[in-house]
Amino acid sequence: MDRSEPLHYLSIDRAGNLIRDGKLSSVDLTESYLERIDQLNPTLHSYITVNGNAARKDAKAMDMEIARGRYRGPLHGIPLAFKDLVDTAALATTYGSKAFKDRVPSKDATLVTRLKAAGCINLGKLTMSELAMVGPPNLGKETLNPWNTSHAPGGSSSGSATAVAAGLCAGSIGSDTGGSIRFPAANNNLVGLMPTYGRVSRKGVMPLSWTLDHVGPMTRTVEDAAIILHAISGFDPADRITSTKSVGAFRSDLTADIRGLEIGVLEDSLIDIDFEIANAIESSIRAFESLGVRVRLVRMPNYRVLHIANSIIYLVEAFNNFGTLLRQKPSELGKIFRIYGYMGGLFSADEYVQAMRLRSRTRVEVEKIFEKVDLILSPTTNSPPKKIEEFDPFVLTESTRSASAEAFNLAACPALSVPCGFTKAQLPIGLQVAAKPMNEQILLNAAYAYQELVGLHHKHPSL
């Protein structure tokens, strides 16, 4: 192994191969991340709970298994971390809220159980917007963007993005109700994958909006996202919405040969966006064309009101989940969540039903687009990462929010953000690619081909 390559920036794919071949130990890899956490977390605040002693113990156990000839697969001995809404047995899961500061689950979430079975090491729990809404946590300090610590990393999976980008874990799990995996991935030069609704079990994951919530991987490369997705996907009898469809190999089926694919560029998403993002998207289109892809413009009816529909649905469902807490213990909740939470109680049943009707119509309209193209391309966000003091969580039309992200929560499609450039200020820009439900493989293939062409995954923040 080339020791000039920092352990903390090894891809999961490469680190897994080195562990398999006996050229790297899980103990050494885990220690490299724990040292990095000690060094940088006091500044970045990406972890709210570090699981150091247990991680060291588990890493030793994984190395012993390798020595005995038992190899679990590409995640054997790989250190990951989890957004603090994913239940981890005997380790605090607080949802980023003082209201749950003493909450210690007795069981792991299904996806944690699956990742442990694959051989993963749990480094700890990652900071998040309180109760996965918007803005900072109400427990612990606000996470900073490692590319420029005066800027926000994006939410609500803020700690998940910063930890991966800064080399504080090999990969992480985030959640996405309206862009909360893809926004911070775009802001941190990461791959953030929101799988098809029902692809991954949400058992043991805090619900914000039952009908919009997804959980998925946040990684430095497409290969790594494919590896994690394979491990966490599949039917779970404890989560009635999980699909019984077979799970693909994802990583082993990756190919950079995407010649002949049809990509639809979402014309509506190119209006009112930052000029540097517009330039990056134009360059991405040319890059895909050089890969042998045919590109055409597509339109999404009702695009301008999709953000409103998505907001009504998740606010109403969030109030359904947390209304009792808002009424009985409002002082334990932060100002931002209280305002958004109470807002969810103000919509009428008719308004909620109308939003759900628009959602159903959006699914049909997106299906029609996919009859003409294989993938839909758009900017992940409308503007680069905001300075922390400039971010206003109370503006529902905040320009960092992109209706193109929320459209695919409404349509239950898989969507992925992949790095596509940097601003003049060296802040990351993300490109979103979306596919038909249960078509993650074609999505991953397109992102992989693009990643290998542009090579932005090799860039890391100068901390």
Residue 463 is assigned to a structural domain of this protein: no
Say which CATH number the domain at 168 has.
3.90.1300.10
Residue range of the domain that includes 248: 8-458
Distance CA 41, CA 62 (A): 26
387 is a catalytic site residue: no
Catalytic residue list contains 83: yes
Flag whether 201 is in a domain. yes
Within-domain flag for 145: yes
Question: For residue 144, is it within any domain?
Answer: yes
Catalytic residue from among 32, 83, 243, 383: 83
| Residue 400, strand partner residues | none
Other beta carbons within 10 angstroms of residue 162's beta carbon come to 32
Question: What does the block give as tokens for 381?
Answer: 């966000």
Phi (first) and psi of residue 257, to 5 degrees:
-90, 100
Question: Distance between alpha carbon 253 and the CA centroid of its chain, in Å?
Answer: 22
> Does 37 fall in a domain?
yes
Write down the catalytic residue from 160, 175, 180, 269. 180
Contacts with 45 (C-beta within 8 Å, 6 or more apart), sequence order = 127, 140, 141, 142, 143, 144, 159, 162
| 2 belongs to a structural domain | no
Structure tokens at 88: 């981890």
Q: What is the pTM of this model?
A: 0.97
Q: Is 156 a catalytic residue?
A: yes
Contact 150, 387 (CB under 8 A): yes
Q: What is the pLDDT along the chain (463 residues), one digit of tens a residue?
A: 445 679 999 999 999 999 999 999 999 999 999 999 999 999 999 999 999 999 999 999 999 999 999 999 999 999 999 999 999 999 999 999 999 999 999 999 999 999 999 999 999 999 999 999 988 999 999 999 999 999 999 999 999 999 999 999 999 999 999 999 999 999 999 999 999 999 999 999 999 999 999 999 999 999 999 999 999 999 999 999 999 998 989 999 999 999 999 999 999 999 889 999 999 999 999 999 999 999 999 999 999 899 999 999 999 999 999 999 999 999 999 999 999 999 999 999 999 999 999 999 999 999 999 999 999 999 999 999 999 988 777 765 554 456 789 999 999 999 999 999 999 999 999 999 999 999 999 999 999 999 999 999 999 999 8
- Strands in 47-50's sheet, in edge-to-edge order, are 47-50, 121-126, 79-83, 171-176, 214-219, 191-194, 415-422, 428-434, 375-379, 262-266, 294-298
Query: With 0-12 CB in 10 A as exposed, 13-18 as middle and 19+ as buried, what is 405?
Result: buried
Q: Please give the angle made by the CA atoms of 39, 42 and 44, to the nearest 5 degrees.
A: 95
What crossing angle do the helices spanning 110-117 and 222-232 adopt, rounded to 10°? Answer: 110
Q: Out of 32, 46, 156, 269, pick the active-site residue.
A: 156
Q: How many domains does the chain have?
A: 1
Q: Which residue, 94, 122, 183, is CA-closest to 384?
A: 183
Residue 3 lies inside a defined structural domain of this protein: no
Is 343 within a domain? Answer: yes
